[in-house]
Each structure stands twice: as C-alpha cells, then as structure tokens.
Amino acid sequence: MSQRLLFVEDIKAQRLLFEEALEEWNTANADKQFELATAETYEAATQMLRTSRYDAALLDLRLPGENGNLLGEELAKACVFHYGIPAAVISGHPADFDQSRFNRMVAIFDKGDGDAYEKAIEWFGGLSHMMTVLSGARQTIQQLGATVFFLRVWPRWSAYERLKGIDDNHLVGIVSRQYASHVADILGIDSEENVKWHPFENYVVPALLEDRPHTGDLFDLDGEFWIVLTPQCDMATEKAVSVLLARCEQKPEKAVWEKYVAGLQPGSSASKRGDADRFFGRLVNQSEPAQHFLPPLHDGLPLMVDFKNLRTIPYADLKQSLNTRVASVANPFLGNLTQRFGAYVSRMGQPNIDTSHFA
C-alpha cells in the first residue's frame, strides 16, 4: 500500500530533484512506497489539501506570497492541526523555522545539504506505519459515519430543521457531536466485529481539558499518584471549594507483575498461562471493593486506587498544579471508577450481632 505525499515547492529544478530521490526510495523500499503529488504555490497546496486526502506533506518554507509571511510554516500548521497528517519543512534558511510552535514534532531539513531530500524521505519512511494505521482509522470512521448518517442523522433531519434560534455554526457543532459520539459508541460495543480494548486506552495523555481539573485526572503530587473523584460539574462551575482525591498505589510489586506478564508470552506452559489469566482476571474484574484497578501508565506498574486513602485539596490550589497532571482516565472507563467509589462509600455494613444468642 502506497502513501500519498504532497510536495510543495515553487522551483521546478527542486521538484525534479525530489522526484528523482523519491523514485530511488520507491525502488529500494518495496514495502514503503510513496505516491507523489506536487503543488507550486501556497494557494494550490491549500486547495489540494482541502479537496484530496494526503498522508504526509513536505513543504518549502519560503513560498512566494504577497504578505511576506513564511507560508510553508502556515501550511505545516494546517497539515498538523487541521488535516492531522505529519509534515516536514525544507529551507535554505532552517533557522527561520519556529519548531516550538509544533512541540518540535515537525521536522526541518536544510536545502543546502546535498542529501536533504533523501533525509526527508527517510524521515517519512520512519512514519510509514503510523500513516498506514491512521489511514485505516480514517476509513473506519468514514464508513461508520455513513452508517450514522443513514440510520440516525438523515431520518431525524426534519427535527434538526425545526430547531429554533440556532445558526448553522451551532448546528454544525451539534451534528458533529452526534457523529463523533455515535461512531465512538459503535466502536466501543463489545462484539465479534470490534477489537477488545487495549489497556493504554484507559488514559488520555495529555488530558483533554487544559484549563481546569476533571474527574479522573491523575496527578503526581510530591512523588505520589492521586486521582480526582469530585464530580466534574462542581469543578466546571467552580462551586467545589475543595477537591476530593484518592491515592493510587503502584502494585503489585514489580517481580510479581513481571512474573505473570511472562506467563502471557508465547511459549509459556499451560499452567503458567492459566495462573496469569486468573491473576489478571482478578485485577480487571475488580475483586476488592476498596480498590480500583488502573492499567500501567507509561509502561510502568499498574495503579490501585485506594478508596480508604483520601485527601482534599483546595480547588484553586489544584487548578494551579495542572503541570503535575500526568493523565486522565478516558471517558469509557471513567464511569466504572466513579460507580465503584460510590458503591464503596455506600457500604454501611451490618451491625455486629452477637451470634452466641442464636443458641
């Protein structure tokens, strides 16, 4: 499967050099092919991005334009933030490119280097697997989006049309949320068609809300992990004077965890595999009422939320500590966390009856 690569360069000789470099790459890499599309101007590239789907883009930094801006940088911004594809920039003056705008994720190549195009293509080749997965994900979302349109949006369109006091921008937001939520629901249903959830899906990194805490936010406070339990509505309205958090312990011990992880590896004996299945089954099925299991974060040990170990922090202080937030529990897993905490605190227990009186 080939990846569609957009090259934007106004000088014909440079376009020919890149085409030659790409042909050499395709000849030498049968499993990582690139299909080339070229544009000579900022306007042409913008139109092509708007009307066609590309997997990546290489952009000349100094494209001709009326206002003197670095239009290649503007195109890189569009590629990354609007179209969700990796982009690289090539320039005879690489120091003029501000990589900090992109968290240094957009690569810069010096046009003065004799092998700049070869280096750029090699960089894209290293991202080929990501491009393939993203392309498949987009196709899946598009197919399920068609299902949502046919079964849910189109039959109810007359109801959308009757909405009062809503302009088109507002309506676009409403319909977009319907598409996104229904596609997510379809993908999240346990069925033979859908893959099972991967443990890393338990977290959103970095957290979606940048300006305030949220239920399920995981903080590293003085070397300890603490998770927010306060309802998000109270924090959204800033009615929460204090925020309730539960401590998260890294357990079981590393040796124990690695022992059972090894039991899942191919070639393990049936008995070791059985022991591992039972061990992980107890964790995932939440056998301890006072604890809640969270999968490993950043390839470390799993976390056990301890509902017996709670603390409160003033909301204003926690809001000022967002730089210590390491992740958030993803929405599909958040309900289970709050439900289990609610079930734990509602366990009143049976009064201690003197059973000797049954005699």
Identify the pLDDT of residue 67. Answer: 58
Query: Is the distance from CB of 2 to CB of 33 less than 8 angstroms?
Result: yes
Query: Is the distance from CB of 90 to CB of 59 less than 8 angstroms?
Result: yes
List strand residue ranges (DSSP E) for the chain, in order. 3-8, 34-39, 56-60, 87-91, 107-110, 203-204, 217-221, 224-228, 242-250, 291-294, 303-314, 325-329
Identify the pLDDT of residue 165. Answer: 84
Could you read off the pLDDT of 290-325 as tens digits, one per residue?
999 999 998 789 999 999 999 999 999 999 999 999
Q: Delimit the domains of the chain by residue range.
A: 3-126, 132-188, 199-255+284-345
Give the chain's residues under pLDDT 70. Answer: 65-69
C-alpha–C-alpha distance, residues 220 and 300, integer Å: 14
Query: Is the distance from CB of 341 to CB of 229 less than 8 angstroms?
Result: yes
Selection from 304, 286, 287 nearest residue 295 by Cα: 304
Say whether 199-255+284-345 and 3-126 share the same fold. Answer: no
Identify the pLDDT of residue 68. Answer: 53
SS (H, E, C) 199-259: HHHHEECCCCCCCCCCCCEEEEECCEEEEECCCHHHHHCCCCCEEEEEEEEECCCHHHHHH
> Which class would CATH give 3-126?
alpha beta
Cα–Cα distances (Å) from 141 to 135, 144, 151, in that order, read 10, 5, 15
Q: What angle do CA 46, 52, 55 make, to 5 degrees?
A: 95
Selection from 276, 252, 279 nearest residue 263 by Cα: 276
Selection from 196, 85, 208 nearest residue 138 by Cα: 85
Residue 240 identity: A
To the question of pTM greater than 0.75 for the whole model, the response is yes
Contacts of 265 (CB under 8 A, 6+ apart): none
Identify the pLDDT of residue 249. Answer: 95
Identify the pLDDT of residue 349. Answer: 77
| Backbone dihedral angles phi then psi of residue 132, each to the nearest 5 degrees | -65, -45
C-alpha–C-alpha distance, residues 194 and 190, integer Å: 7
For residue 82, what is the DSSP state?
A: T
C-alpha–C-alpha distance, residues 86 and 83, integer Å: 9
Residue 235 identity: M
Could you read off the pLDDT of 92-118 as tens digits, one per residue?
888 888 888 888 889 999 998 889 999
Check whether domain 199-255+284-345 has CATH 3.30.565.10, yes or no: no
C-alpha–C-alpha distance, residues 17 and 15, integer Å: 5
Query: Is the distance from CB of 80 to CB of 86 less than 8 angstroms?
Result: yes
Identify the pLDDT of residue 284. Answer: 87
Query: Is the distance from CB of 79 to CB of 131 less than 8 angstroms?
Result: no
| Residue 240 C-alpha from the chain's centroid | 28
C-alpha–C-alpha distance, residues 58 and 19, integer Å: 12
